[in-house]
Structures are given as C-alpha cells and as structure tokens.
Amino acid sequence: MRRQRLVRFTAVLLTLLPVLVSCTTEELGHGLTIEAAYVELAYALHRGEATAAATAMQQLDREINALPTGKLRAYFATRDDDNDNSVYFFEQSRLALRDARVSILEDNLGQSSVQVDRSVYYLLAAEPILAERYYIAGIYDFLAAWNEIEVIAREFDFCGMEWRDYESYAEDVSRAWRQISWRRPDAQLYGFTPERLRKFENAHAAVEHQLNIFRNAVRQDDQCEAERIALEVDGAVQRLIQVFSRTDRISPQLGHSVKP
C-alpha cells in the first residue's frame, strides 16, 4: 500500500526554504522552477516510469543544488535549541531524498516512495510553516490522504476488501479536501495568464465534482463503483497538479489506469 505513498510533493517543500531566508524575487522564482521540476518527477513516479523518473530527478537535483545550502543551515542553526532540532531534521530530510535518488536509479520506485515519505516527515518537522507560500505544498495533506485511496484502487480489489476500513480512508480524504479546497495559487507569485488560471479553476472544479461522486458511491456502499470512480478522481487530481508543471503535457486520460 505504501508503493507510491506520499511520493508527490517532497521536493516541492524544499523549494520553500529560500523563502524563509530572504524572500528575494530571484529566490521565489527559483522555488517555482523547482516546484515545476518536481511535478515532472511526481508524474513519472505516479506512472511507474523509471527512465522518466531518473531524468526528472536529475533535473530536480540541478535545481536543488543551486540552493544556498550553507545559508539554509545557518538559518536553521539560529533557531536550533533543546526544543527545536531543526538542523537535524533538515539534514535527515536531505539524506532521505538522496536515498530516494539511489532507489530510482536501481529501478526500485516503491522503495523510493518510502524514502520520499521519510523526507517529507523530516522537512515538515524542521519547518512546519513551509506550506504557506506554494500551492502544491499547501495542499499536501489532501494529496497524502488521497494517495492512500489511489494505491488501494490500483493494487487491491475493492469488491473484496473490508469496507469499514475503506470508509475511514474516504472520510479522511473528504475532511482533508474541505480543509484545503479554498486555497488558490498566489496571484502575484505565480503570475498565471487568464488561460492558465482558467485551466486551474477547471481542474479544481473537476476534483470537487469527482470527489462528490466518489463520496456518494461510498455512502451507498457500492464498492465496485467506488473503485471505478476512485480512478476518475485520481485523473482529476493529476490534472490539477500538472497545472504547475513546466510543460502542461498531461492527457485527459491521465490517472485512468487499468489494474494489471
């Protein structure tokens, strides 16, 4: 179940660190570049495409390596005390992401997902307010909750599983969406064109619509229908994420995977 758990958005959170240090226009723009590069990596991992994931990770590495790491360590050191082990958490997050790179090169995407999960945990422990600036990081809790259901839909048989367990997942994702559905990308930071903003709003509305259908199927105890709709929701979620990529190359069918 953890094969793809929390694989989305770890490196995106790394982009927020420069913002906490100086908030220059250049650093904010660099954060957007890393966020976009990460979306490409998330796409490849989500599809199980090892070659594309390796290429995307290389691009992400180039962007992350351009960050002022020494400056960031100094920032965390200023607030590192007995009650705040920020430096330790920051370093552990970097180490976990390094291990994820190795796993991708070894064609072990499942292990990479676990390591990315660990990186998320440590980075948020280092600085819990990282999600305030960038949209993808800001909806992290929803994406993590949805990923639990998406993995079940891809790898397990809804019709044969214990429904009570699945209902709890559905409740979690519904609650997570309610908590973040109000969020919109910062207009000044992202500078979306009217066309791109419409694309975002359409993708956002599609997630809302598909989640409503999904919730109704769960409430009616229609397990097989819930399984089918879960893949529809996943496609909508992926289209929302891809609005923040460098090249919006997502197809209308993304996420509608067929289980092997």
Q: Are 6 and 144 in contact (CB under 8 A)?
A: yes
User: Does residue 145 share a domain with residue 129?
Assistant: no
User: Does residue 160 share a domain with residue 119?
Assistant: no
Tell me, what's the pLDDT at 162? 67
User: Does residue 182 share a domain with residue 245?
Assistant: yes
Q: How many domains does the chain have?
A: 2
Please give the Cα distance from 105 to 56 (Å, whole number).
11
User: Does residue 94 share a domain with residue 8?
Assistant: yes
User: Does residue 153 share a domain with residue 124?
Assistant: no
Q: Is the pLDDT of residue 208 over 90?
A: yes
Would residue 174 be called left, alpha or beta, if left means φ above 0 and alpha means ψ between -120 and 50 degrees?
alpha
Q: Are 118 and 94 in contact (CB under 8 A)?
A: no
Task: Tell me what the mean pLDDT of segment 198-226 comes to.
Answer: 90
DSSP 95: H
User: Does residue 164 share a domain with residue 59?
Assistant: no
User: Does residue 154 share a domain with residue 128?
Assistant: no
User: Does residue 93 share a domain with residue 32?
Assistant: yes
Phi, psi torsion values for 97, nearest 5 degrees: -70, -35
Residue-number span of the structural domain to which 214 is assigned: 139-260
Confidence of residue 8 (pLDDT cuts 50, 70, 90): very low
Segment 10-62, tens digit of pLDDT: 444 444 444 444 445 656 666 777 778 778 877 887 888 888 888 888 887 77
Highest mean pLDDT among 2-16, 41-55, 72-86: 41-55
Higher pLDDT, 203 or 113: 203
Please give the Cα distance from 36 to 243 (Å, whole number).
9
Helix crossing, 50-65 with 86-105: angle to 10°? 150
CA atoms within 13 A on the CB side of 104: 28
Tell me, what's the pLDDT at 249? 45
Q: Are 5 and 238 in contact (CB under 8 A)?
A: no
* Domain edge (last residue) among 109, 134, 159: 134
Which range among 18-27, 75-84, 180-189, 205-214 shows the weakest confidence by mean pLDDT? 18-27
249, two tokens: 């190359």
User: Does residue 234 share a domain with residue 113?
Assistant: no
Alpha helices in 48-156 (DSSP H): 50-65, 69-77, 86-105, 109-126, 135-138, 140-155
Contacts 24+ apart (CB under 8 A), 97-101: 97/10, 97/11, 97/14, 100/10, 100/57, 101/57, 101/61
Please give the Cα distance from 73 to 251 (Å, whole number).
40
Q: Are 251 and 210 in contact (CB under 8 A)?
A: no
* Domain edge (last residue) among 114, 134, 154: 134
Q: How far is CA 32 from the centre of its chain?
A: 14
Tell me, what's the pLDDT at 251? 41
User: Does residue 3 share a domain with residue 69?
Assistant: yes
User: Does residue 51 share a domain with residue 144?
Assistant: no
* Domain edge (last residue) among 81, 110, 134: 134
